[in-house]
Each structure stands twice: as structure tokens, then as C-alpha cells.
Amino acid sequence: MEPPLEMESAVGGESVGVSVFEGAACPGPEDLVARAIAPVKSQYLRAPPPRSGSLGSAVVDNANEKSSVPKVVVTKEKKSRRQLKRERKQEQESAKKICPEIAKTGNIGACRYNDNCRFSHDLDAYLAEKSPDLEGICPFINVDETCPYGITCRYSNTHKQCTSLKPNSSAKRSSEVNCLNKDLQKLLWKDKVSFPKADFQLQLLGLKVGKSKHMNSEADIVKDHQEADNKQVLCSSEFTQDCSPTYIENECLGSDFISEDPARLLKKPKSKYDEGNFESDISHGTNLEKEKIQDGQDCSLHNGQDSVSSDYLCSEVESLKPHARERKLIDFRGKLYLAPLTTVGNLPFRRICKGLGADITCGEMAMCTNLLQGQASEWALLRRHLSEDTFGVQICGAYPDTVARTIELIDRECTVDFFDINMGCPIDVVVNKGAGSALIMKPMRMKSIIQAAASTVLTPLTVKVRTGYFEGRNRIDSLVSDIGKWGACVLTIHGRSRQQRYSKLADWDYIYECARKAPDDLQILGNGDIFSYTDWIKHTSDCPPLASGMIGRAALIKPWIFTEIKEQRHWDITSGERFNILKDFVQFGLQHWGSDAKGVETTRHFLLEWLSYTCRYVPVGLLEIIPQRINWRPPSYYGRDDLETLMASDSAADWIRITEMLLGKVPEGFSFAPKHKSNAYDRAENG
């Protein structure tokens, strides 16, 4: 097919790409591959015109432009906190900030706060200022749910149709779980949530409970147990629970026996705040263990005073750990595992990958301290869609107490299939706090974290690491056997060091070496540069002990890689099929973030973040050599149709144009710059 010669991007034909027109003769495909340039067929190539403005950023001013064509300029400066606070206050006082209850029902008298409500009740003023509705159907109608946004929905003109079809329909149960309970959030703010299992396991392991980094002495452990007698643990706003060592022991011991109760497996209380008491969770096996303790076999109780000897603490550390047969088991072997991806690995994106063949999904990395502080934005990373049948959450922390408490809290409040501890994050702000890749240099800290987390809950625990901290100084192979003994059931190894970040190719030979050294009960997953089904087959066949592979950036660039692996083919996907995937993302995004003005713009933002990766994909039919490698830089080229050409652009203005095809025109003064600079191959920040 001949390329459309007159196709231009939304920024006047500007496009950044790798020039292959240098010199008198055009280099051959092998020469381009050696230079890490995608060998696009010559009839589709075009010379990249010079670019004006900053790379990958765009600002749109609809007031000065007759058309909605974006204009690339330097991104505006970041506003101060005082400016943002003043703008939020002005927005809150405006008619656009309509009361949610009035918006949902359309009735001015629906708000129970009346004149004391901090939102506007002027329904007519809101309707006068509301932006025109977007084309299309409300995303909640497609899932047979009543739209919770009422008149604020940008598709509200289609609600009448839904009402006429189902006049008595009521909102169904949400398809998303793991939402943060408001009562729990208030308790977290006040630091009044108890963590009996985590604290008891930390004391058994000889770790100080609290924010201290240091180990506790035996005297301190006994003192902590004795001081706990007089403490009350606030479990809800309605009642309190005693937090004595005897109670904590019973709770911890009871959790080991509960896993054998079929009724417990079928129904798990969502929260101790809702169920009222932990005692309902304790089975008869706990009572047997309680009798042993009262008989003096393990410890003695005199006059209400608990004395815990150091011998008891040392001897019971192993016995109190859940046995391997009591843990839920997840077989990762041969499964397609979507890696936890910051910013872009959100719930709508995971739904896309799940529909395209992913078997296992994991939420974005959440910081333990933020979760324990009740930050709603951090808890939102734990939300799970019902289509995610095997789902885990990834957490990151620097100390055993924060990690163990976070895991106990999530296990109590949420529904997850496994926990993943990130010990490989290379981001500076994480490493400087002693978390992520910094733990690779502290094996004893790694041991404490894994042991404390694994002994607190029965949910499987996985760990993600890198080969080492410094390039050329790999060290994970010396810890592989120990990580399995500490309590992890799966170890994912990213084949790069922290110093490498994402530069150079992943070292799969070293991953193979680690997989061969791993014990039989520890599954090893490889991660790095899997970009086609041939890569998947090569890695799994070259090293049979390797359980599976984790797919990260490849899923961002081409989420249909899961379909390619399952069907064993290179999918020459058309631009129309790719656009339909974007449509699905928009629908999922509006259902997740909302169909009101704020939800539409949030969906647009995350769609733009994703488009900053998808532009790196080169269609199979345009390549001289297949499959494409993840480190190949695409040159400037024409697609087989106008839409494919537009999708190949790495200009943020063209990404905005794609979002306008799906979500309408952007607001006045809209600006965007990709967070991770994913389209900047030559930037140090990207590697």
C-alpha cells in the first residue's frame, strides 16, 4: 500500500524521529538494527521536519485559535500551593460545584445539609454554565447501572433513554472492590487502628514495634508484652478490644487454624469494624492452643500478669509461622503476568490487558506509610475489578513494622490473591528513603521484612528485585535460596541493576543462573525486554526452571502482546483495531474515574500518558525485519492510513488530537507533558 504523501500531523507536519536519510545511500536493515533503529520499509519513510517548542509537551489555547488544533509551546510553570488553594476555593464557591446529592437526583431538597452544605444548590445556574454534552452514550448505561453523576454527567442527555427502558432500575453492586472505608480512614488519621498480628510477629522475631530502625533486646520484648496489658485497642467507633499478649497470641494462633475451616474459606469478614469482633473468626483449633498455653506448656499466666520468656519467643518463632500447606498457593508457571506499572498500570488499563489475554494482574506500587496514614489517593491503587480473577497488590516500604502492618491491614480490609513487595524500584525518592532497590544492599533488612510479612498473613507473598544495585555487581544469586526460606513463594528478577534503570538490555543469562539456584518451592519469574511471542518462547525454553515471565513496558506499547503469545503469532494489527482498544479504555476510564467533567479530564490525562508509550509501536507490515525489539527507536514514517500515521507521532499535540476524537475538545488552557518521558530515548531520565 502506498503511503499517504500529503498526510501531516496536527502540528504542521512536525514529528520527531530518527533520521535514516543521513549520507548518500540509505543504510540497510541490518545496519539500522545495529544502531537500534527500527528498519521501516523505505516506501514509508519520511524526513523528520524540524521541531519547534519543547519535546513531548503541549499547551492548547482555544480562545486564540479558531480550530481545536493544539499548538506546541513551552509548558506553563507549576503553580504555588497558595495559588492552587485559592483556585480550589473559588471553584468550590462557583455554581459549577453543584451538590452531589442534588446532581444525582435533580431535586433541590435532596441534600440533608440544606443551607449548611458547602456546595452550590443553584441548579439553574449550574445548567446554564455546564459545558455541552459529549457525543456518545453514558458509560454506565452499557453496564446496566444507574449513572451516579446525574446531571453532571457529560452524557446526561442519554439518561432519559435509560429511564424509559428501565424505569425501576436501581444501581447494581459495584464491579470494583477494595475501596477505602471512610470510618477506617478516620481511624487511620487518628492512628487508632490496631495491628495485633503484625505486632506480635514482630516481637517474636525480635524486632522493635514502632518507627525505630533498631532491633529490640530481650528485656525490651518482655517489657513491651507487659506494657501491652494495660492498653486498649480501638477497633471501631462502637467498641474496643483488649490488646494483651494473651489476646494477641490467640488471634495469631487462631489465624493458623482458620485456614482449615471450610466456612472460613468461603466467607471472610471484610473488616473487624463491620463484623464487630475478632472472636467470631477464631475456630476450635485456637481453643486447643489456648489450653496449652494455660496449662503452662508454653508460658505462664499469674494474677493477670503475662510473662513471656525469651526461650518461649525463640522456640515459638518457627512454630507460629504458617505452614506451607496452610498457605494459599498460586501457580505462576506458564501464566502471563502483567507487571505493576506506575501511573499507566491503572485499573482501566489492566481491564484492557485482561481482555487481551493477561492471566495475572497487579496493582500499581503503593507506599506503606501513605496507606497507614489513610491517604485516599494511595488506597485507590488497591482497587480491583471483578474481571481480575488473579490479582495482587504491590507495596513498598523500608522497615519490617510498616510492611507487616500494611499487609495485615490490607488483608483485613481488601480482597487480594497475593502481596508483592517491591525491592527493586530505582526511583530516587524511594531509594533515598531506604526502600526499593536500596534494600538490595541490606540483606538483613530484606530478611526482616520478608519474615515479618510472611508470618503475619496466610496470603502468598512475592518479592520483586533487580540483579543488584551497581552495574556489573550482581548479588541476588547469593540470596535466592534464602529468600525462599524467609517466606516468599515467588521471586521476580528484573534483569537490570538499579544503576542501569532501563538502559541497555536485560541480562537474561543472569536470570537463568538465579533460576537454577532457586529451591524447588520458590518460583522464579524473569522480567525485562519481552516484546514478542518469540522472546517469550526463547526465555521459557532456554531455562526450564524459569516459572514464567513478567511483561511490563511491552504491554504499554502493545497490550495485545498477550494475545500474540497465546496465539503464537505476530499480529499485524490495524489502526482501526488499535483505535477500538482506545475506545474501550475510555469507557473503562469513565466508569472508574467518573463521567462528570472531572472524570472526563482524568480519563484524558491517563489516556495521554498511555499514548506517550503506544507511539513507539511500529506496525508489523511496515518492518523489514520482524519482530520489533523494545530498544528500537522508530524513524519518522507514514502509516498505511491517516489514523496509523497519527498514532505514530511522538508529538504531544497529536496525542491530544486523538483524545479529542474520543472525549471531545480539551478545556481552555489545557496542557500536558508526559510524566515518565517515555518517548525520549536519549534522555537520562528515561534510563
pLDDT beyond 80 at 147: yes
**Phi, psi angles (nearest 5°) of residue 523:** -85, 135
For residue 246, CA distances in Å to 294, 320, 323, 385 come to: 10, 14, 22, 39
Q: Which residue has the higher pLDDT, 682 or 636?
A: 636
Q: What is the pLDDT of residue 162?
A: 58
pLDDT of residue 223: 42
Average pLDDT across the chain, whole number:
77
- 90 CB-near residues (< 8 Å, 6+ apart): none
pLDDT at 639: 95
The predicted pLDDT at position 595 comes to: 92
| Model confidence at 5: pLDDT above 60 | no
Backbone φ and ψ for 186, nearest 5 degrees, come out as -65, -40
Q: Are 546 and 526 in contact (CB under 8 A)?
A: yes
Q: How far apart are CA 606 and CA 675, in angstroms?
A: 10
Q: Nearest CA to 193 among 282, 271, 258?
A: 271
C-alpha cell at 598: 472531572
Q: What are the DSSP E strand ranges found in 414-489? A: 418-423, 461-466
Question: Three cell numbers at 465?
Answer: 528485585
| Alpha-carbon separation of residue 200 from 221, 294, 352, 405, 550 (angstroms) | 10, 18, 41, 11, 34
Band (pLDDT 50/70/90 cuts) for residue 189 is: very high
Worst-scoring range by mean pLDDT, 452-466, 652-666, 673-687? 673-687
Q: Are 397 and 410 in contact (CB under 8 A)?
A: no
**Which three three-digit cell numbers place residue 67?**
480550530
Cis peptide before 48 (omega within 30 of 0): no
Q: Among residues 252, 425, 489, 514, which one is catalytic?
A: 425
> Do the Cβ atoms of 664 and 134 come closer than 8 Å?
yes
**Which residue has cell 488497591?**
382
Q: Do the Cβ atoms of 568 and 533 come closer than 8 Å?
A: yes
Minimum mean pLDDT range among 5-9, 128-132, 537-541? 5-9
Nearest Cα to Cα of residue 511 among 562, 482, 547, 537: 547
Are 126 and 95 in contact, with CB atoms under 8 Å apart? yes
When pLDDT is cut at 50, 70 and 90, the band that residue 239 belongs to is: very low
- CB neighbour burial string for 622-638, b if at least 16 within 10 angstroms, e if fewer: bbeeebbebebbbbbbb
CA distance 146 to 104: 10
**Strands, E assignment, 339-457:** 361-362, 366-367, 384-385, 391-396, 418-423
pLDDT for res 420: 97
Residue 145: predicted pLDDT = 76
Angle subtended by helix axes 400-413 and 443-456, to nearest 10: 30
Closest CA to 313 of 216, 209, 206, 445: 206
pLDDT tens digits, 379-429: 999 999 999 999 999 999 999 999 999 999 999 999 999 999 999 999 999
| Average pLDDT rounded to a whole number, residues 343-357 | 96
C-alpha cell at 179: 475501596
Nearest of 449, 455, 463 to residue 400 by alpha carbon: 449
Quick one: average pLDDT of 28-55? Answer: 82
Partners of 336 in beta bridges: 549
**Distance from C-alpha of 348 to C-alpha of 290, rounded to nearest angstrom:** 47
Question: CA 153, CA 142: separation in Å to the nearest integer?
Answer: 14
pLDDT of 94 above 90: no
pLDDT number for residue 284:
36
pLDDT at 58 over 50: yes
Q: What is the pLDDT of residue 49?
A: 59
Q: How many residues does the chain have?
A: 687
For residue 64, what are the contacts with CB-CB under 8 A and spacing of at least 6? none
Cα–Cα distance, 645 to 648 (Å, whole number): 5
Question: Which region, left, alpha or beta, applies to residue 637 given φ > 0 means left and ψ of -120 to 50 means alpha?
Answer: beta
- Choose the weakest-confidence range: 32-46, 159-173, 279-293: 279-293
> pLDDT digits over 472-511, tens only?
898 899 999 999 999 999 999 999 999 988 888 999 999 9
Contact 484, 324 (CB under 8 A): no
Nearest CA to 416 out of 459, 379, 445 is that of: 459
Q: How sure is the predictor about 222, in pLDDT bands with cuts at 50, 70 and 90?
A: very low
Q: Which has the higher per-residue pLDDT, 94 or 379?
A: 379
Confidence band, pLDDT 50/70/90 cuts, at residue 314: very low
CA atoms of 554 and 533, how far apart (whole Å): 11
pLDDT of the residue at 217? 36
What is the phi-psi region of residue 391: left when phi exceeds 0, alpha when psi lies from -120 to 50, beta otherwise? beta
pLDDT at position 433 is: 93
All three cell numbers of 36, joined, read: 537500534
d(CA 447, CA 478): 13
Q: What is the 3-state secondary structure (H, E, C) of 589-623?
A: HHHHHCCCHHHHHHHHHHHHHHHHHHCCCCCHHHE
Helices of type H across 29-181: 29-34, 81-93, 100-105, 123-129, 159-165
How confident is the model at residue 326, as a pLDDT? 60
Residue indicated by cell numbers 528484573: 494
Identify the three-state secondary structure at position 479. Answer: coil
Torsion sign across C-alpha atoms 526, 529, 534, 539: negative
pTM greater than 0.95 (yes/no): no
- Nine-digit cell string for 64: 486564540
pLDDT of residue 457: 94
Structure confidence at residue 144 (pLDDT): 73
Q: pLDDT per residue over 525-569, tens digit each?
A: 999 999 999 999 999 999 999 999 999 999 999 999 999 999 999
Predicted confidence at residue 157, as pLDDT, reads 87
Is 425 one of the annotated active-site residues of the chain?
A: yes
Going from the C-alpha of 13 to that of each of 21, 269, 470, 653, the distances in angstroms are 17, 58, 42, 11
- Reading the block at residue 550, the C-alpha cell is 513478567
How far is residue 524's CA from residue 547's CA, in Å, rounded to a whole number?
A: 6
> CA-to-CA distance for 329 and 409, rounded, in angstroms?
21
